[in-house]
Homo-oligomer: A and B are copies of this chain.
């Protein structure tokens, strides 16, 4: 009998008609049943007469399935056994402790993301470079697009297109004549016929991320478009959304990002986004995380279908420092998916230093939120920028982000929360918010000094308690033992930026 691991993926295929338009004229479903669950999943047409339905089991044990559909031969039955998950398989992502994440098996997940919008559409040599970089373990979430991307540094055609047809000629495109808002003349697409190969490319990326313990934050729609994929009719959109959900839902590492910069999709209205969300809520049997990312105006993240706040900074100077305020406002996890990229392009959103990006990661994380990386270094020879294509990393922040993740994983419980701070009550006023103080409970605190460069800090603790003190150099990635202390004590620091002090209560 076939076996599949818990939170693995079972795929059932049948052969069916090729005539007419199988994408719109045929339907296919599978019902998967065990002692603990019964899931009816929508199938999809994968081209060349093959119809598929996919299932992710949430329980171990014996399952049966039966398929049905609009065509002769759609009906099939079978059974399979769900085994214990592999040691690296922790299941899909869930919200925990209101503001944080854990895999379904309760393993805490501290998100440190990156973005390679169009990596799925690149030639294989570049994709392999991307995977080699991801093998370094810098990141555990990747944002990327299903549709190809049209933008500065992104004028090459993708390796495949999502629809049958032919694209507008791109031979004259260059930065000099780039326009953000274009018409879509010259394209010839049949928006009722998908190109399954395009979606198989995306799925391969999802699986490659899964194999590396990386969540796939799938951007379903975006505005960087010269082909008209951002300007389809509601019927065409819904066909696409249903196809996406049918194909991708059974991969455990999927997060749904309804859009990148939803507010720049000038053809879409609020009612459209809400309709897509409804499709997700109805059709995704596994309730993967759902978010929607802004350019200028935040979506109202209090809407019930939104599981976490996917944010781009609204201000150049203060952004991740609002994490605690936004937690209060929306009562959901805060994920900063765009806070400027390490690099040196002309645009302000893509030329900050590795130090500054790392600082933003620490600020976001210690305030009980999560941050995302991107990299935009000019590549005059090949014009390959990580933020869009993947490829090779050039910056200094990835290693520091990995170090931060290691520190975050040492948090007791699920997620950091705002601590009491540590200031001298006799002084009576805080010291100009010169430090961040967040803890994992009454016995764990991290004090982060950001761009401050203190030569020492004083701590005021009960004389009864003993605290193990460590000095964390977040840039040099070192943790230095500073002894065990009680009562009021002074910790000397090296007058450098980006230092933190960690206190852990000991017996």
Contacts and interface: CB of A to CB of B under 8 A. Distances in A.
A348 B264 contact: no
Contact of A318 (B317, B346, B434, B435): B317
Which one of A295, A340, A452 has the greatest number of beta carbons of chain B within 10 Å?
Answer: A452
A452 B495 contact: no
Contacts of A318: 315, 317-318
A178 to B, nearest CB: 7
A349 B423 CA distance: 14
Contact of A344 (B315, B348, B455): B455
A164 to B, nearest CB: 31
A431 interface: yes
B179 A426 contact: yes
B264 A429 contact: yes
A351 B457 CA distance: 12
B429 A356 contact: no
Nearest to A432: B349
B317 A348 contact: no
Contact of A351 (B340, B348, B453): B453
Contacts of A351: 434, 449, 452-455, 495
A352 B454 contact: no
A295 B433 CA distance: 12
A180 interface: yes
Interface string A409-450: 000000000000000001111011111000000000000011
Chain A contact-residue range equals 35 or more
Interface string A357-391: 00000000000000000000010000000000000
A451 interface: yes
A353 interface: yes
B434 A497 contact: no
A345 interface: yes
A179 to B, nearest CB: 5
A457 B456 CA distance: 41
A270 interface: no
Given A344-B453, A346-B455, A352-B452, A180 B316 contact: no
A482 to B, nearest CB: 15
A76 interface: no
A84 interface: no
A273 to B, nearest CB: 20
Contact of A348 (B316, B343, B435): B435
B317 A317 contact: yes
Which one of A346, A351, A378, A434 has the greatest number of beta carbons of chain B within 10 Å?
Answer: A346
A433 B453 CA distance: 28
Given A317-B321, A344-B454, A428 B352 contact: no
A433 B295 CA distance: 12
Nearest to A495: B344
Given A344-B455, A348-B431, 4 more contacts: A346-B431, A347-B431, A348-B454, A352-B453
Interface of A: 178-181, 264, 295-296, 315-318, 321, 340, 343-349, 351-353, 356, 378, 426-429, 431-435, 449-458, 495, 497
